């Protein structure tokens, strides 16, 4: 009888598995007939949400939307079936049980691990227990055994990684194996052993692990680069594990392409499923899109700050922000490109907007300092649109097919759209994001404006203010760059020693100084602020840095009683215009503002002394979004309903029409609303590069 073709027919009672023997004992190493080839019907049924149900006297196929949670005391095996068919069924049973997201649990004691695992189980039933984080892993196994027995829905991986392979266990390879064997006996469904270990251990190691009752993951980690993935897989393949886990480090965005092409090649090669992830900040894209490329599952941290690998993302972020469980072949890809992007709130803001407007899209962090690296990824994934931040706003210009007139004049873009013809077009929404908040407070005609910096954001500020009739001065650490920008825009450069002697209507910081993460990344020569307190002589100080919401520059301005404009206003406005260019829909600006302010407030709550409480009150000014944002950091408030209309950013490019693919999305988590925000008058909706049909992926 061919079990792969049994369909919904009930098996004879005499062929039902022996309940005294665990499934994993019957998984034959190196089975020559892959379930992908032999059990095609089984695979298609599992893909449609069906799974195998085991009963005391039958074995039948039924419809289920969720994997069956098998009880530990009902482990079954296949005494009278052929080994090949047993291998297929056991493999499918395991795959139907596990999820697509495995959450790593760490702790310094068994009780701490169990406490964290209990919390994780509320949202995910697939767990990895990092036993190597324990001083004495073996002593924790009895408690973990009881936990698994009491939580039959959980599927658990036991990992005890050696220090030499990136873990924390300082014992021998033999000691590692002993712990994994005991973990399997304690009820862990899978054990993870490094390739380097199994190559040095006795030849019967795989059979020992299987006889102990666990499925086997053979893993390989490269903490330096992404190279020779096929060679690594060739080393793993002879052991025929249930899962081969290959985890290189992405040094560039294109390394993610290398991994995803590898996953595509090996997907149907053997009986082993492959888990592929790129570590590092540049590898974030693989943690979200790897599942679509063929990775059996991906890993996440239990909470932020408990990452077990470089670039690992918290489980809640993967599920709620990136919606990793909903990404499919039709999902459109967008992202923010630059360096650094780790602290960027663009993914949170944009993914919230996509969810709010039911757009089947995901927005990722793309960390790179090289425009060519970015475009190589963008062409092959493909990426439909990008937000461009430092240091790429000028570097990407030569790689674009065309830009709108404003971007061409400024010489920098912050928004890229992939048109129907596959070519990339550039726009600049920074200007609207900078000018609009200023014009709500004062007339720019004849106003004296000091712009700090001469990069992409500074160019937008300079050209935008000059176009409104302001007298603009540029201060940059490289005077020659400031002078060049002054000549191009009709502004003036100014020497540092003259700044303290001059009174300005507005001072705009368009440098990354004060940004979260900058000081840590290059700690040696990073100033706290571009200016000293004595040099801040203005009616308003506008810092384009939005994270943290209260930068050192704004704090000094407040202490002098100067009205401030936070970068949140500019950040949300320019992002809203990008959303409209990409989708052709009005942006949910109120929702975007709310999640950004909420996130910044949460970050500020970790600081002993909040900015609002540590400085004198600023001058009174019109009620605007930035004031609401600052108030939200100090304490929660309930916002009045705000009706936001689309702001005008008219762009010109080759005709393109965006078709929006809608997909069911889960309801956003409740967020405390910000303080009342004054409605902003807006012009006509964006005309996003004409009308035509976008390619469906």
Q: Hey, what are 384's tokens?
A: 């439909």
One-character DSSP codes across 156-183: EEEE--BGGGTSSB-S-HHHHHHHHHHH
Question: d(Cα 223, Cα 247) in Å, to the nearest integer?
Answer: 8
Contacts of 431 (CB under 8 A, 6+ apart): 406, 410, 460, 463, 464
| Helices and strands in the chain: count of H runs, count of E runs | 25, 22
CA distance 310 to 187: 29
Integer Cα distance of 277 and 275 in angstroms: 7
In degrees, rounded to 5, the angle at the alpha carbon of residue 459 between the alpha carbons of residues 455 and 433 is 110
User: Which position among 173, 182, 245, 393 bears the catalytic label?
Assistant: 393
What span, in angstroms and rounded, lies between the C-alpha atoms of 245 and 341? 27
**Do the beta carbons of residue 95 and residue 46 sit within 8 Å?**
yes
Across-strand partners of 471?
448
CA neighbor of 262 nearest in space, from 282, 281, 245, 279: 245
| H/E element, 431 | helix 430-439
Collapsing DSSP states into helix, strand and coil, what is residue 331? Answer: coil
Is-catalytic flag, 200?
no
- 543 phi, psi to nearest 5 deg: -105, 120
Inter-residue contact 108 to 118 (CB < 8 Å): no
Q: Which residues make beta-bridge pairs with 216?
A: 191
Rounded Cα distance between 490 and 283, Å, is 42
Dihedral sign from CA coordinates of 597, 387, 443, 588: negative
Give the H or E element holding residue 576: helix 567-583
DSSP-derived secondary structure letter, 309: S
User: Phi then psi for 73, rounded to 5 degrees?
Assistant: -85, 10
Q: How far apart are CA 307 and CA 314, in angstroms?
A: 7
CA distances for 588 relative to 78, 327, 681, 690, angstroms: 56, 22, 15, 22
C-beta of residue 564 within 8 angstroms of C-beta of residue 626: yes
Q: Which residues are known catalytic residues?
A: 393
């Amino acid at each position: 009888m061919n079990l792969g073709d049994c369909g919904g027919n009930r098996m004879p009672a005499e062929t039902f598995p022996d309940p005294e023997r665990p499934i994993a004992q019957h998984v034959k190493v190196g089975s020559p007939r892959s379930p992908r080839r032999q059990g095609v019907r089984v695979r298609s049924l599992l893909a449609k949400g069906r799974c195998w149900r085991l009963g005391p006297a039958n074995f039948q196929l039924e419809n289920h939307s969720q994997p069956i949670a098998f009880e530990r005391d009902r482990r079954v095996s296949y005494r009278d079936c052929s080994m090949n068919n047993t291998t297929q069924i056991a493999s499918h049973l395991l795959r139907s049980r596990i999820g697509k997201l495995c959450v790593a649990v760490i702790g310094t004691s068994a009780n701490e691990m169990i406490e964290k695992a209990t919390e994780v189980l509320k949202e995910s039933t697939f767990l990895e227990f990092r036993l190597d984080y324990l001083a004495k892993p073996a002593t924790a196994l009895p408690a973990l055994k009881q936990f698994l027995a009491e939580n039959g829905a959980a599927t658990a991986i036991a990992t005890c990684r050696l220090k030499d392979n990136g873990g924390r266990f300082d014992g021998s390879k033999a000691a590692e194996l002993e712990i994994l064997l005991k973990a399997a006996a304690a009820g862990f469904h899978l054990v993870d052993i490094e390739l380097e270990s199994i190559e040095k251990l006795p030849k019967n190691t795989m059979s020992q692990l299987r006889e102990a009752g666990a499925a086997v993951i053979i893993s390989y980690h490269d903490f330096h680069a992404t190279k020779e993935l096929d060679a690594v897989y060739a080393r793993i393949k002879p052991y025929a594990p249930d899962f081969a886990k290959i985890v290189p480090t992405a040094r560039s965005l294109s390394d993610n392409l290398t991994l995803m092409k590898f996953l595509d090649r090996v997907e149907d090669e053997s009986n082993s499923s492959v888990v592929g992830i790129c570590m590092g900040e540049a590898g974030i894209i693989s943690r979200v899109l790897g599942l679509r490329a063929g990775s059996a599952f991906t890993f996440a941290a239990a909470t932020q700050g408990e990452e077990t690998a470089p670039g690992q993302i918290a489980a809640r972020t993967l599920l709620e922000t990136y919606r990793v469980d909903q990404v499919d072949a039709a999902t459109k890809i967008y992202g923010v490109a630059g360096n650094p992007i780790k602290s960027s709130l663009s993914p949170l803001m944009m993914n919230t907007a996509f969810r709010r407007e039911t757009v089947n899209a995901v927005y990722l962090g793309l960390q790179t300092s090289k425009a060519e690296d970015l475009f190589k990824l963008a062409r092959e994934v493909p990426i439909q649109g990008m937000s461009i931040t430092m240091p790429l706003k000028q570097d990407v210009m030569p790689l674009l097919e065309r830009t709108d007139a404003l971007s061409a004049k400024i010489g920098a873009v912050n928004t890229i759209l992939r048109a129907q013809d596959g070519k990339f077009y550039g726009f600049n929404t920074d200007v609207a994001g900078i000018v609009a908040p200023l014009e709500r407070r004062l007339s720019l005609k004849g106003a004296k404006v000091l712009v700090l910096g001469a990069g992409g954001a500074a160019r937008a500020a300079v050209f935008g203010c000059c176009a409104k009739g302001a007298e603009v001065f540029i201060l940059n650490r490289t005077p020659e760059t400031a002078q060049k920008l002054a000549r191009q825009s009709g502004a003036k450069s100014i020497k540092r020693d003259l700044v303290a002697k001059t009174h300005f209507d507005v001072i705009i910081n368009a440098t990354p100084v004060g940004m979260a993460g900058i000081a840590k990344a290059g700690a040696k020569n990073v100033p706290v602020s571009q200016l000293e307190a004595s040099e801040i002589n203005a009616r308003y100080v506008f810092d384009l840095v939005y994270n943290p919401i209260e930068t050192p520059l704004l704090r000094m301005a407040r202490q002098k009683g100067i009205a401030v404009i936070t970068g949140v206003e500019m950040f949300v406005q320019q992002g809203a215009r990008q959303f409209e260019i990409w989708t052709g829909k009005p942006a949910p600006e109120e929702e975007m503002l709310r999640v950004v302010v909420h996130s910044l407030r949460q970050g500020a709550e970790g600081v002993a002394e909040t900015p609002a409480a540590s400085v004198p009150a600023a001058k009174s000014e019109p009620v605007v979004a930035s004031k609401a944002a600052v108030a939200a950091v100090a304490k929660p408030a309930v916002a009045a309903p705000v009706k936001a209309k689309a702001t005008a950013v008219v762009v010109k490019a080759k005709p393109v029409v965006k078709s929006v693919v809608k997909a069911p999305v889960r309801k956003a988590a409740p967020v405390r609303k910000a303080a009342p925000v004054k409605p902003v008058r807006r012009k006509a909706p964006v005309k996003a590069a004409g009308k035509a049909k976008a390619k469906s992926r």
